[in-house]
Amino acid sequence: MSTPEGGQKTAVIVEDDPDVRHLLVEVLEAAGFSTVSVGNGIDGVRAVLAYQPLITTLDVNMPGIDGFEAARRIREKSNSYIIMLTGLADEADVVLGLGAGADEYIVKPFRPREFRARIEALLRRPRPDGATPPATRQESVGPSFPGARPAASAFPTPPGAPEGDLPPASWATPAAPAAPAAPAYVEPQPVAPAYVEPQPAAPVYVEPQPVDAPPYAEPQPYPAEPPAYPVVVPAAPPAQAIVPVYPSQELARPGMPAPGGGYWITHRDLQLNPETRIVLIGGQQVELTRTEFDLLATLLESKRRVRSKADLTLVLRGESYVTSYYVGEADKRAVEAHMTNLRRKLGDNPSNPRYIETVRGVGYRLTTELLSP
């Protein structure tokens, strides 16, 4: 990249919008550039190759080729600083523009003062050819391609030398070679010992030692036992089977011993043994529950005496008849239910009772001994 003769700075503006192009011309000329303006990408590439500008501004959406392609072509032939000035603000577009060769990516609408400051920042960066563009701003504003101001010489002009010429190299005082810098002392840092993971120890084989066996002892014979006298065990008498005998056709009489012990209580053809808790009707056994048996035994022992529901409740509880004991209606209904089951098992009809009759409003008692015709 080179500047035109006389030290003038050139800028190529590639922009299809006339208003934006006019604004860029004003900003760049205020910064001391002479400007070349074109309206499409193909003419922009030709202008850069023809003028080799210091600064090139590129729009993206333009006729012909877009700004990305124009930047690639310019970067192949020129080291001009490329500033992409576009309305595309997506991250992908920014990355694409910088990858195509742009040095700056500015999104429209832009601020002129910031735009000029970015240009001056670019000019402070050296390019690959080794030339560092000047970073000082120019105060004067001129037309396109203005004459550049001569730069002040850093050396005094000798008498007789033409104005503006550089002094010969023999006038320059050679600089003393710089002494090599001593290497800085770096204090050695202690190195931490490397961590070594402990390995499991291999098991140590211990050879088994023989165990001394106890000395063999000769078995001793058992001492002879003295002869035992014979034991005479008397023979047990033969067991006699006890077979209970139940009356079949002949009824047991009151007080008659019952098979297995106890005695019989009879009423008509009904028989009850309190000891063995057996009940027979006509010689046939009747299965009763404990409560039903106790009710029947109480009535048989009471004969014709009326037993109330409360009295029977206390009997079932195992309590003596005391008027202070409370007997509720639920207890009386329970007695009625048990009495109903007892009559059903005995085959007794309440309307024509054979064994137990109901005394209205009082309780229950046995029927008469005589059978009704």
Instruction: Write down the pLDDT at residue 199.
Output: 73
Asked if residue 55 lies in contact with residue 2, where contact means CB atoms within 8 angstroms, the answer is no
Q: Which tokens sit at 280?
A: 């027979």
The sign one gets for the Cα dihedral 290, 295, 298, 303 is negative
The domain spans of the chain are 9-123, 265-366
* CB atoms inside a 10 Å sphere around CB 278: 20
Instruction: Write down the pLDDT at residue 291.
Output: 92
pLDDT tens, position by position, 54-97 = 999 999 999 989 999 999 999 999 999 999 999 999 999 999 99
Peptide bond into 4 cis (omega under 30): no
Of residues 70, 62, 76, 82, the one with CA closest to residue 11: 82
What does the pLDDT profile of the chain (373 residues) look like in tens digits? 545 445 679 999 999 999 999 999 999 999 999 999 999 999 999 999 999 999 999 999 999 899 999 999 999 999 999 999 999 999 999 999 999 999 999 999 999 999 999 999 999 987 765 444 443 333 333 334 333 333 333 334 444 444 444 333 333 334 445 555 555 555 666 666 666 676 766 666 667 676 665 666 676 665 555 555 555 555 555 544 443 444 433 455 555 555 556 789 998 999 999 999 999 999 999 999 999 999 999 998 888 889 888 888 888 887 765 555 677 888 888 988 998 999 999 999 888 898 898 988 888 998 987 655 5
* pTM score: 0.36
The CATH fold of domain 9-123 = Rossmann fold (3.40.50)
Which residues touch 260 (CB under 8 Å, ≥6 apart)? 244, 275, 276
CATH classification (class only), 265-366: mainly alpha
Which residues touch 270 (CB under 8 Å, ≥6 apart)? 279, 280, 281, 300, 346, 355
12 membership: H or E segment, kind and range = strand 9-14
Residue 366, burial from CB neighbour count under 10 angstroms (0-12, 13-18, 19+) = buried
Q: Which tokens sit at 256?
A: 């008659």
Instruction: Write down the pLDDT at residue 169.
Output: 38
Of residues 16, 30, 249, the one with CA closest to residue 120: 30
Of residues 131, 33, 158, the one with CA closest to residue 83: 33
Instruction: Write down the pLDDT at residue 245.
Output: 42
Q: What span, in angstroms and rounded, lies between the C-alpha atoms of 28 and 56? A: 11
Where do we find the tokens 């008027």?
Answer: 323
312 membership: H or E segment, kind and range = helix 309-317
Of residues 20, 31, 257, the one with CA closest to residue 11: 31
Local structure of residue 48 (DSSP, 8 states)? H
